[in-house]
Structure 1
Amino acid sequence: MSPSSESMDGNKLHVAMFPWLAYGHMIPFLHLSNELAKRGHKVSVLLPKNATLKLANRNLHPDLITFYAITLPPVDGCPPGAETSSDTKDSLALARALDGTRDQVKAILTAADDKPDFIFFDFAYWIPEVASEIGCKSVYFKVIGPTLSALGLLVLPGREKTLTASDLTEPPPEYPSSKVVLREHEARQVAQFANIPGNQMTTLFERGFAGMKTCDALAMRTCKEVEGPFCDYIASHFGRRQMFYTGLILPEIQEDPLEDTILNWLEKFRPGSVVFCAFGNEWLMEKNQFQELILGFEKTGLPFLVALKPPKGAASIEEALPEGFQERVKDRGMVLGWVPQTQVLAHKSIGCFVNHCGYGSMWEALMSHCQLVFVPNIIDQTLNTRLMADELGVAVEVEKGENGWISKENLCRAVRSVMDEDSEIGCLVRKNHRKWRQVVTRPGIMKDYVESFIEDLHGLLG
């Protein structure tokens, strides 16, 4: 099919978006939709009904971005009414439900007044076939860091043999980094899990790579300056001569002021003196680990603001705190269930950011002025951390025990190593952070990425 009439008229595109059914995927797809619509391009977003309701307020251009509701068929393993990864822990069952929407997706896009020029997707590996049937191009849009896909290229060959830890700790010569790898005990755990037939990790890798092999273009939500070698590694594996980059596609920082309780507390401390910790919404800790972390912040002797979910078995933060903790820290420490991370990070009193290094938080951290300490929880966060701490040298990783335990001593040591003014490590990561922050915050860099990406799309249409 030739480009749609809208593409021919005014050089505008029509892009359809069909992301994996997890908010960590759907939201970046919508951020990109907003960037395209801001430049006059039309976008059709296909999501389950409840997700469209939750994300409607993120649609900044409703005149150009249209939501289309899809209905997931019932499948074994998915609770009735489950529509996203927030509704079920069984990602493979959710993937089977996603596959059951193929005919709906094709019908919606075929019935459009003007058929799309592109369909963006990730885990729905069959989209390239649908795009070919409709007469448009397919773009695999990767919203999570390329380091995880690079690791996946090491894991999948193990499907033909027993995967060993050395396969993951001693990557091939063409692998882009000797530093962004797993430790021995981490590699053993991944290999053990990967060798279980039909396991979730390798099955999801296979789905993603199947789409990468057959799509018309690969697009990465990253900056080439930072993660380019990993993108090149992936592109070379799939025989792609060109990799498209969207830039970070981050939402605009909200200007809403902090609530008075947090703001007044932060204002008591001198600039750059407060340690801020936030681990996102998905890390649910055991109570003993939660308390150990809290005691680690107390042990630093520094003022600290911690935002964590109540641990397992606790109905509130207050009941989970160590005995006597609140009396000991008094006005020096504050522990809450949630805070607006971006606004807190921007406050002048924050001097250190302790984080799990999820992909979005990784970039927020790099763009901040804080010293950085990372405590990864799952595999992609671990690889993000190795990139930041070992490859770029902008952060310190908290040392864990082989069983994953985070001791108060190791947490305290990591924080003090970057916060002590005479610390050699602190000076080094501060210097490296300043250099890389200048790269990713260069004026106009995000605008340039998006506009270059749109040019790439036009070039793909010929």
Structure 2
Amino acid sequence: MGQEAAVVATNGSGTRPHAVVMPYPLQGHVIPAVHLAQRLAERGFTVTFINTESVHHQIASGGGADDIFAAARAAASNPLDVRYELMNDGFPLGFDRSLNHDQFMEGVLHVLPAHAEELLRRIVVDPASTCLVIDTFFVWPATLARKLGVPYVSFWTEPALIFSLYYHMDLLTKHGHFRCEARHGGSYRERTSRTLIARFRSVYFSFLFSCTNNFFHRGAMVVCGGAEPRKDTITYIPGVASIEPHELMSYLQATDTTTVVHRIIDRAFAEARAADVVVCNTVEELEPWTIAALRAAGKPFYAVGPVLPAGFTRSAVATSMWPESRDACARWLGAQAARSVLYVSFGSYAHVTREELHEIARGVLRSGARFLWVLRPDVVSADDPDPLPEGFATQAEGRGIVVPWCCQVEVLSHAAVAGFLTHCGWNSVLESVWAGVPMLCFPLLTDQFTNRRIVVREWGAGASIGDRGAVRADEVRARIEGLMGDGEEGARLREQVGKRRATLQAAVAPAGSSRRNFDDLVDDLKRRCGGR
């Protein structure tokens, strides 16, 4: 690890600009960070990529090499100056981070920053030529960048909409859509007093609104009347015309906002406000008003997505944290008719309940569709490695296969695949759109609920199949039949996903918005890292 590259290019100051890239230690964050690191290296940067030892161990167990960039360096027409470093996250390799989520997150909050500082003090040899390109969800980058005297580039792997919602949590709190319980603690007398004041303010501001509609926004300054947040439409986030509370990320829908993840989000976005630059894995034409509003706040915001492997093929850099059933998937898909297969996957981290999984499985069976289902062994629990309904394998024989993991871009780009039943992780959404595959959306956690809103409500490129705890087999069956069939619904979904596919492809084409934004980002970083 930490090897020297054979070729070192120079800029005007005599040294390469140096980008230190570090993803959040989850699969969905590692993948776009790897591809961004490669793109920076291709544009003349020395890149030091940092993985946690745990993430690297999982990648290596899935078939990755000791240095995951070795194959990419060997395949590049121009040698890439990419160094690979590992960092301890404070837990032993055998510790189950998914099963012990909260304990792991406490470590990310309190322990990992010290390890990061120790490593970065060794890596950042020349601060004048170095920048930190660090995942937004970390709680230390801006503070540590100031200590080291280097710029902080906040890499946001989700839509700009979600960045804006987190960035404006203060507005959600002010208007009573978030963090209500924190504002109603204290004694009964204090809570009653605040409730009466809130009601008075509500009446008072409603009166003022009726008098001067142009000065006050209806509902502004109304605080929660109890522990539950407001349920009316949110219309005051800059660059977001409207969003419903049930479309917020799961952490912004929670009534208990004292969890470790909420503390991480608070700290991370305090750091993001101090970032020098924000880079986002989205496309300008998909979120123009949100991106414009974020730029108007005064910080460079570069939409450079979709950050996908070159040619939308298997990446030369190993990123999969699960062993892939590549040959089995390829053989089975190769024997299927064009546009006949439903691909099912719930991603690399979040869990479903056994009851939810059984309803979805029954719906898949009743639909009659052929299917390829990626089912992680721990998708319900590490203690429940066979969570499908009894008799499922027998009933599905000849119609589908279940594998523990796959190369998703290879599956989605296969001509046999017609639809994707997905948890709506942002990588999965972008990959599905790029492949022209419409989606059935069953979000499980965090950003996935807001991503569903984008796919279903804004793009019309997918359909919802229920909610956590409220998914039913007959609805699943009906949605699959609608998507896979030749009727009006399937045609509409394919047409809409095709439009978004064209948008993505245009964005990364020469003179496309993402290509221009990436060029501008490179120029900006070279000025910050090499022109001083």
Same fold, TM-score > 0.5, yes or no:
yes
**For residues 324 and 431 of structure 1, what CA distance do their matches in structure 2 show?**
37
Distance 1:35 1:231 in 2: 22
Cα distance in 1, alignment partners of residues 289 and 348 from structure 2: 30
Superimposed CA distance per residue, residues 17-42 of structure 1 (whole angstroms, 9 cap, x where no aligned partner): 24433343344323211111122211
Flag the 1:408–1:314 CA change in 2: closer, same or farther, 3 A: farther
Q: Is contact 2:352-2:444 (8 Å) kept?
A: no
2:300 is the counterpart of 1:242 = yes
Q: Among residues 133, 142, 145, which one is paired with 1:120 in the alignment?
A: 133
Structure 2 gap segments, 5+ residues each = 1-8, 74-78, 185-223, 317-323
Change (3 A) 1:246 1:10: farther
Structure 2 residue 368 is the aligned partner of structure 1 residue 301: yes
Aligned amino acid, residue 456 of structure 1: D
User: Once structures 1 and 2 are overlaid, which stretch shifts more, 94-103 or 159-168?
Assistant: 159-168
Q: 1:350-371, CA deviations, whole angstroms, 9 ceiling, x for partnerless residues?
A: 1111111101101001111223
SS at match of 2:444: coil
Task: Name 1:457's counterpart in structure 2.
Answer: 525
Whether contact under 8 Å (1:180, 1:383) holds in the other structure is no
Q: What are the ranges of 5 or more consecutive residues in structure 1 without an aligned counterpart?
A: none
- 1:284-304 Cα offsets, whole Å, 9 max, x none, are 333332222111011112222
Aligned match of 1:341 = 408
Give 1:64's aligned residue.
81
| 1:277-292 matched pairs, under 5 angstroms | 277-292=344-359
- The aligned runs of 1:410-425 (5 Å cut-off) are 410-423=475-488, 425=489
Aligned AA for 1:392?
W
1:390 is aligned to 2:457: yes
The whole-number CA distance in structure 1 between the counterparts of 2:464 and 2:114 is 42
Q: 2:276 aligned with 1:276, yes or no?
A: no
- Structure 1 contact 371–419 (Cα < 8 Å) conserved: no
Residue from 357, 361, 375 that aligns with 2:442: 375
Cα distance change of structure 1 residues 168 and 105 upon mapping to structure 2, 3 Å threshold: farther
Cross-structure match for 2:282: 222
> Do residues 212 (structure 1) and 272 (structure 2) align?
yes
Q: Do the aligned residues in 1 keep the contact of 2:359 with 2:471 (CA within 8 Å)?
A: yes
Out of 58-67 and 32-41, give the one that drifted further: 58-67
1:186 shift after superposition: 8.7
Question: Structure 1 243/336 Cα, relative in aligned 2: closer, same or farther at 3 Å?
Answer: same
Q: Distance in 2 between matches of 1:101 and 1:335?
A: 39
Residue deviations 1:286-339, cap 9 Å, x none?
Answer: 33322221110111122222221244477654xx44344344343123223223
Matching of residue 431 in structure 1 with residue 435 in structure 2: no
Shift in Å at residue 217 of structure 1?
1.6
CA 1:269–1:16 in 2, change beyond 3 Å: closer, same or farther?
A: closer
CA gap 1:7/1:104 in 2 versus in 1, 3 angstroms: farther
Q: Confirm or deny: 8 A CA contact 2:28 2:348 kept in the other structure.
A: no
Give the whole-Å Cα distance in 1 for the aligned partners of 2:291 and 2:407: 31
Alpha-carbon distance in 2 for matches of 1:454, 1:88: 39
Q: Is the 8 A contact 1:244 1:453 kept in 2?
A: yes
CA 211–10 in structure 1, closer or farther in 2 if over 3 Å, else same: same
- Name the count of aligned residue pairs: 442
Do the aligned residues in 2 keep the contact of 1:140 with 1:218 (CA within 8 Å)? yes
Q: Which of 99, 109, 115 is residue 101 of structure 1 equivalent to?
A: 115
CA contact (8 A) 1:49 1:69 kept: yes
1:406 corresponds in structure 2 to 471
CA contact (8 A) 1:21 1:85 kept: no
Quote the offset at 1:204 in angstroms: 1.9
Q: Give distance in 2, aligned partners of 1:289 and 1:191.
A: 21
Of the three residues 209, 220, 234, the one matched with 1:171 is: 234
Cα-to-partner distance string for 1:156-206 (whole Å, 9 max, x where unaligned) = 435563566554652233444456544299989824122xxx322321221
Secondary structure of residue in 1 paired with 2:440: strand
Equivalent-residue separation in structure 2 for 1:243 and 1:36 (angstroms): 17
Question: 2:19 touches 2:48 (CA, 8 Å); kept in 1?
Answer: yes
| Structure 1 equivalent of residue 101 of structure 2 | 89
Larger radius of gyration: 2
* Structure-2 change in CA distance of 1:193 and 1:275 (3 Å): same
Aligned Cα root-mean-square deviation (Å) = 3.5
The 8 Å contact of residues 282 and 305 in structure 2, kept in 1 or not, is answered as yes
SS of corresponding position for 2:111 = helix
Please give the secondary structure, in 1, of the residue aligned with 2:339.
coil
1:35 alignment partner AA: R
RCO higher in structure (CA 8 A, sep ≥6): 2
CA distance 1:34–1:448, change in 2 (3 Å): same
